[in-house]
Amino acid sequence: MDSFLKQLLSRSLSRRDLVKNTSKVSSAIALAGAIPLPFSASASAAEVPDGQESVRHSACLVNCGSRCPLRVVVKDDVIVRIEPEDCPDENVFGKHQIRPCLRGRSSRWRVYSPDRLKHPLKRVGKRGEGKFKRISWEEATKYIADELKRIIDKYGNEAVYYNYQSGAYYHNQGTTAWKRLLNITGGYLRYYNTYSTAQISVATPYTFGEYGASHFDQIRHSDLVVFFGMNLSETRMSGGGQVEELRRALESSQAQVIVIDPRYTDSVITEHAEWLPIRPTTDAALVSALAWTLITENLIDEALVNRYCVGFDGSTLPEGAPSNGSYKDYILGTGSDNTPKTPEWAEAITGIAASRIRQLARQIAGAKACYIAQGWGPQRHANGEQSVRAINTLPLLTGHFGLPGTNTGNWPYATKYGVPSLPDGNNPVTTAIPCYLWTDAVLNPEIITDKTHGLRGKEKLDVGIKCIVNQAGNTLVNQHGDINRTSKILEDDTKCEFILVIDNHMTPSAKFADILLPETSYLEAQDLVDNSYASGSHHYMIAMQPVVKPMWEVRSTYDICADIAAHFGQRDAYTEGRTQAQWIEKHYAEVKEKRPYLPEWSQAKEMGVVDQQAATEQQGIALAGFRQDPVANPLKTPSGKAEIYSARLEKLAREWVLPEGDKITALPEFCAAKESHLDTSLTGKYPLQLSGFHTKGHTHSTYSNVRQLHEAAPDEIWMNPLDARQRGIANGDKVRVFNDRGVVEIQCKVTHRIIPGVVAMPEGGWTRRNAAGVDVGGCINTLTSHSVSPLAKGNPQHTNLVEVSKV
Ligand SMILES: Nc1nc2c(c(=O)[nH]1)N[C@H]1C(S)=C(S)[C@@H](COP(=O)(O)OP(=O)(O)OC[C@H]3O[C@@H](n4cnc5c(=O)[nH]c(N)nc54)[C@H](O)[C@@H]3O)O[C@H]1N2
Ligand SMILES: Nc1nc2c(c(=O)[nH]1)N[C@H]1C(S)=C(S)[C@@H](COP(=O)(O)OP(=O)(O)OC[C@H]3O[C@@H](n4cnc5c(=O)[nH]c(N)nc54)[C@H](O)[C@@H]3O)O[C@H]1N2
Ligand code: SF4
Ligand SMILES: [Mo]
């Protein structure tokens, strides 16, 4: 550690020497329309002689789960290029560069994009038309304070909603700044769930009591790896993140990898894996048939399963459960549906050959240490909770849990370095909606109750959402399901009376703002941040400098919110007398108190990556204590065991009111999803399953306006040659993708890398409707549904039926 630190310090000193030779602040760059406001952070931009390059340090704060440091070369206050940070020769990982991906490396194009928001704007046309006039910061902050006061007076704080967002994970501006402000004004309607993990985070605790998974590093000890819809090579691309941890682990163990996915992803290639193509929404059917094989071929240690689990067979069924209600009954066909879950039964549902299902069961049973995990694609479906619980059951049935080289069936979060954020205070409003139901909370709040819509903290929603604060998010329009419906709801300004959007760009959501504010991009901001949630066992802290002066009138939201607080007479309560830079320094001091080896802040703030660490191997095994001694280390379930049969879910199923066709089940059963290939009410009209995926070309809708990235990784709909031939479509053709909700035009990639009967489109393209109402921006959410999954009330944005034709 010492030598690592010494190297970091010497790096920063030489840089400081460079910076010391300053003459004057360079002149405003050509792109800036002048009026840069004073940035609250101490140093604004690099102070180096004109015409000389200098190096500054920032980080990519988007929501890809990674957090890559960016080494930014600046000349005359203009970003010249972006590089990976130096890799110290020796650190906790050996040579380890937290290497940014193509998106982070292209940040300069996002900062200098012509659609940057430059000034505060006020809507002048109809809502959604995108017509605005420029106003001053004083007018904007006063108007916002007045609207907040008006709405809180008239409807109460529950009418104010802070929308789900994930565009910029700052610690000392952005989300925490807004929540702090809203709490000072009396609070706001909460949400639970995320667009990422609704089904998996709600369903998992029914089996295990809480969410947990083993670090990928455990794969060093595995001989077999089974991944359900897990695509690290495209979704966790950072050199400091999980894809790198997995690569190193696989290199060490040479484990065999099987990837179950409707698409032949980049991960299949980079992991040298076998691809098992599966129909979307059917993972629970596959697992059921694996269980059938395991049981009928005596490949299960039943005593072991009964020791750790509830409901595998009748001997561990909880009181009150039907006598034929065990998992074994469900699988063997002696349960209430009288259907044996044979591999032939599953073949018809999943598209995977019965013989391959049998073989897979034997492979898993015969492995010494099988690491089973799922990405979040399998759960972002109308029956996602069932897939999650089924996949979680597989390690339990096969004994591959709690031991080196094994997992829980879930995806592992990272160890956090532990950098504090601006405290957001206390929200006195305790009511919470599932985040995917916000449009309903605008449109018809009167129908939202605990038993029908999963409302928490209250039986029934009293008022709907009358004010939306939408910061660094595009779920207001682009990232939410059924854009045509959402737009219509938002266009009516008698429903939601005030919409505030804070962004960097004129996005599809920004066009729906009443007041539109420009924030700094992260390259113009100062902050102190953690590693993000997908860096695996690797964790670190990054000090971000403003690499160029904030351009035009863009500002940090910390300063914006402090000004709004002042209109409530609460500036001091908001700031506690600190500038943003002083909060950052305070947080650094708190970290240093726990890690005394760290350098002083005056040095650290110019270092970029200040420190990096790795979790120990032993910390990385989920359920280790439980496996060792299930009585001494019970799970947080009601029984203390892993619950294959959940009495809590059986009770919910009786008490909740579900839409027709929706099911909550005590066992991890396969339930055919609405709008899947098994939904014959629709397949005549719309015969193709449309699944979405997260593309390496952008992070959701962020970076989607960087044209260079589209050249590297274009947005295309993937289609199997069999389906293409039937429709007269050739590779590269422009096609029309449609269902009852809308029409999208996009280029078609005809490829064997996708299973027949399924098409797949990247999410995150910016919606753009032409005069005929066709989305020529290629946004999948013109086609997706706003309705929710049964238990989590989560987004089913991968479950869609469509037809495709050549334009
Ligand atoms: N490059 C890039 N990286 C990102 C993001 C991004 O937008 N771009 N977004 C980030 C965020 S916020 C998140 S939440 C994560 C998302 O991470 P995930 O949710 O894991 O990503 P997806 O691409 O939605 O799904 C992963 C895989 O599941 C497959 N899949 C879909 N349906 C099914 C199914 O029913 N069964 C099975 N077995 N497989 C299925 C998809 O084809 C896909 O290859 O990625 C993060 N990383
Ligand atoms: N069909 C479909 N839809 C999906 C998904 C899917 O798989 N399929 N995935 C869902 C998932 S998992 C997620 S997480 C959501 C993501 O949806 P969002 O959380 O909305 O993420 P982005 O689309 O990246 O939008 C982030 C916004 O933040 C802005 N931004 C970036 N940096 C800054 C900054 O420094 N300051 C401010 N103020 N703004 C900034 C960007 O310009 C962008 O408009 O999408 C969901 N939508
Ligand atoms: S998008 Fe993610 S992987 Fe790429 S540079 Fe940014 S943080 Fe790193
Ligand atoms: Mo996400």
DSSP calls for 9-49: HHHHHHHHHHHHS--SPPPPPTT--S-PPPPSSS--S----
* Ligand 2 contact, 196 CB (< 6 A): yes
Closest ligand 3 atom, CA of 101? 4
CB neighbourhood size of 807 (10 A): 12
Mean pLDDT of 8-25: 31
Residue 431 CA to residue 418 CA, distance in Å, equals 29
pLDDT at 667 over 90: yes
pLDDT at 260 over 50: yes
Distance 159 CA to ligand 3 centre (A): 35
* Ligand 1 contact, 280 CB (< 6 A): yes
Minimal-distance CA residue to ligand 2 atom 4 = 479
CB 477 within 8 A of CB 501: no
* Ligand 1 contact, 204 CB (< 6 A): no
* Ligand 3 contact, 62 CB (< 6 A): yes
* Ligand 2 contact, 471 CB (< 6 A): yes
Distance 323 CA to ligand 2 centre (A): 48
pLDDT reported for residue 618: 60
pLDDT at 87 over 80: no
Report how far apart, in Å, the C-alpha atoms of 623 and of each of 201, 320, 565, 703 are: 17, 28, 46, 38
Reported confidence tier of residue 632, pLDDT bands at 50, 70, 90: very high
Distance 111 CA to ligand 2 centre (A): 16
More confident residue, 415 or 305: 305
Closest ligand 3 atom, CA of 699? 1
For the stretch 331-341, pLDDT in tens is 999 999 999 99
Distance 377 CA to ligand 1 centre (A): 4
**Cα-atom radius of gyration of the chain, to the nearest Å?**
27
For the stretch 699-741, pLDDT in tens is 999 999 999 999 999 999 999 999 999 999 999 999 999 999 9
Q: Which helix (H) or strand (E) holds 182?
A: helix 175-184
> Strand 274-276 and strand 121-123: pairing?
unpaired
Q: What is the pTM of this model?
A: 0.93
- Measured between its terminal Cα atoms, the distance across the chain in Å is 61
Eight-state DSSP code of residue 619: G
| Torsion sign over Cα 256, 207, 380, 160 | negative
The preferred substitution site among 64, 483, 763, 799 for testing ligand 2, maximizing ligand atoms within 8 Å of CB, is 763
Residue type, 760: A
pLDDT reported for residue 88: 65
Reported confidence tier of residue 85, pLDDT bands at 50, 70, 90: confident
Eight-state DSSP code of residue 600: P
Q: Which helix (H) or strand (E) holds 463?
A: none
Q: Which residues lie across from 806 on neighbouring strands?
A: 735
Residue 490 CA to residue 508 CA, distance in Å, equals 12
Report how far apart, in Å, the C-alpha atoms of 340 and of each of 57, 327, 335, 663, 676 are: 60, 12, 9, 20, 22
- For each of the domains in the chain, give its residue range(s) and CATH number, in order of start: 1-31 (no CATH), 199-412+631-655 (3.40.228.10), 680-806 (2.40.40.20)
Which H, E and C letters describe 649-702, residue by residue? Answer: HHHHHHHCCCCCCCCCCCCCCCCCCCCCCCCHHHHCCCCEEEEEECCCCCECCE
Residue 428 CA to residue 17 CA, distance in Å, equals 50
User: Which residue carries 């292209």 as its tokens?
Assistant: 106
Eight-state DSSP code of residue 92: B
Residue 499 CA to residue 768 CA, distance in Å, equals 20
The preferred substitution site among 101, 231, 234 for testing ligand 3, maximizing ligand atoms within 8 Å of CB, is 101
pLDDT at 26 over 50: no
Q: Which two tokens stand for residue 469?
A: 């604060």
pLDDT reported for residue 18: 30
User: Which residue carries 């990247």 as its tokens?
Assistant: 762
The preferred substitution site among 61, 68, 540 for testing ligand 3, maximizing ligand atoms within 8 Å of CB, is 68
For the stretch 559-596, pLDDT in tens is 999 999 999 999 999 999 999 999 999 999 999 999 99
* Ligand 1 contact, 690 CB (< 6 A): no
* Ligand 3 contact, 237 CB (< 6 A): yes
467-471 β-sheet, strand order: 132-134, 121-123, 515-518, 498-503, 467-471, 160-162
Reported confidence tier of residue 613, pLDDT bands at 50, 70, 90: confident
Q: Which two tokens stand for residue 446?
A: 């009167």
The preferred substitution site among 695, 699, 704, 709 for testing ligand 3, maximizing ligand atoms within 8 Å of CB, is 699
Minimal-distance CA residue to ligand 2 atom 47 = 479
User: Which bound ligand lies closest to the C-alpha atom of 233?
Assistant: 1
* Ligand 1 contact, 375 CB (< 6 A): yes
pLDDT at 140 over 50: yes
Q: In the chain, what is the greatest distance between 2 CA atoms, to the nearest angstrom?
A: 83
CB 344 within 8 A of CB 305: no
Residue 553 CA to residue 34 CA, distance in Å, equals 8
Closest ligand 2 atom, CA of 376? 12
Residue 362 CA to residue 343 CA, distance in Å, equals 13
* Ligand 3 contact, 66 CB (< 6 A): yes
Distance 197 CA to ligand 4 centre (A): 7
pLDDT reported for residue 89: 57
CA nearest neighbour of 426 among 190, 246, 633:
190
Q: Which residues lie across from 73 on neighbouring strands?
A: 55, 81
User: Which bound ligand lies closest to the C-alpha atom of 474?
Assistant: 2
pLDDT at 461 over 50: yes
The preferred substitution site among 410, 694, 715, 717 for testing ligand 1, maximizing ligand atoms within 8 Å of CB, is 694
For the stretch 275-304, pLDDT in tens is 999 999 999 999 999 999 999 999 999 999
Mean pLDDT of 467-479: 98
Minimal-distance CA residue to ligand 3 atom 3 = 238
pLDDT reported for residue 523: 97
User: Which bound ligand lies closest to the C-alpha atom of 237?
Assistant: 3
Describe the crossing of helices 283-296 and 343-350 by its angle, rounded to 10 degrees.
170
Percent of the chain with pLDDT over 90: 89
What is the rounded average pLDDT for all residues in the chain?
A: 92
Residue 39 CA to residue 775 CA, distance in Å, equals 39
Closest ligand 2 atom, CA of 557? 38
For the stretch 370-404, pLDDT in tens is 999 999 999 999 999 999 999 999 999 999 999 99
pLDDT reported for residue 93: 58
Reported confidence tier of residue 49, pLDDT bands at 50, 70, 90: confident
* Ligand 1 contact, 612 CB (< 6 A): no
* Ligand 1 contact, 696 CB (< 6 A): yes
For the stretch 64-84, pLDDT in tens is 999 999 999 999 999 999 998
Closest ligand 2 atom, CA of 165? 19
pLDDT at 28 over 60: no
Q: Which helix (H) or strand (E) holds 748?
A: strand 742-750
Residue 343 CA to residue 340 CA, distance in Å, equals 9
C-alpha neighbours within 13 Å on the C-beta side of residue 185: 32
How far from chain centre, in Å, is Cα 368? 33
Minimal-distance CA residue to ligand 2 atom 35 = 521
Q: Which helix (H) or strand (E) holds 82?
A: strand 78-83
Phi and psi of 733, rounded to 5°? -65, 150
CB 283 within 8 A of CB 391: yes
| Torsion sign over Cα 369, 372, 373, 377 | positive
* Ligand 3 contact, 243 CB (< 6 A): no
Distance 167 CA to ligand 2 centre (A): 5
DSSP reduced 3-state for 336: coil
For the stretch 307-321, pLDDT in tens is 999 999 999 999 999
* Ligand 2 contact, 695 CB (< 6 A): no
Closest ligand 1 atom, CA of 166? 12
pLDDT reported for residue 615: 76
Reported confidence tier of residue 95, pLDDT bands at 50, 70, 90: low
User: Which residue carries 């703002």 as its tokens?
Assistant: 513
* Ligand 3 contact, 64 CB (< 6 A): yes
Distance 105 CA to ligand 3 centre (A): 8
Give 634: exposed, middle or buried? Use CB within 10 Å, 0-12, 13-18, 19+.
Answer: middle
* Ligand 1 contact, 781 CB (< 6 A): no
pLDDT at 30 over 80: no
DSSP-assigned letters across all residues of 370-415: EEEEE-STTTSSTTHHHHHHHHHHHHHHHT-SSSTT---SSPPPPP
pLDDT at 239 over 80: yes
* Ligand 1 contact, 695 CB (< 6 A): yes
CA nearest neighbour of 548 among 29, 22, 66:
29
Mean pLDDT of 348-367: 98
pLDDT reported for residue 361: 98
pLDDT reported for residue 92: 57
* Ligand 1 contact, 65 CB (< 6 A): yes
Percent of the chain with pLDDT over 70: 92
Residue 677 CA to residue 276 CA, distance in Å, equals 18
CB 311 within 8 A of CB 327: yes
User: Which bound ligand lies closest to the C-alpha atom of 68?
Assistant: 3
> Strand 538-544 and strand 527-530: pairing?
antiparallel
pLDDT reported for residue 406: 98
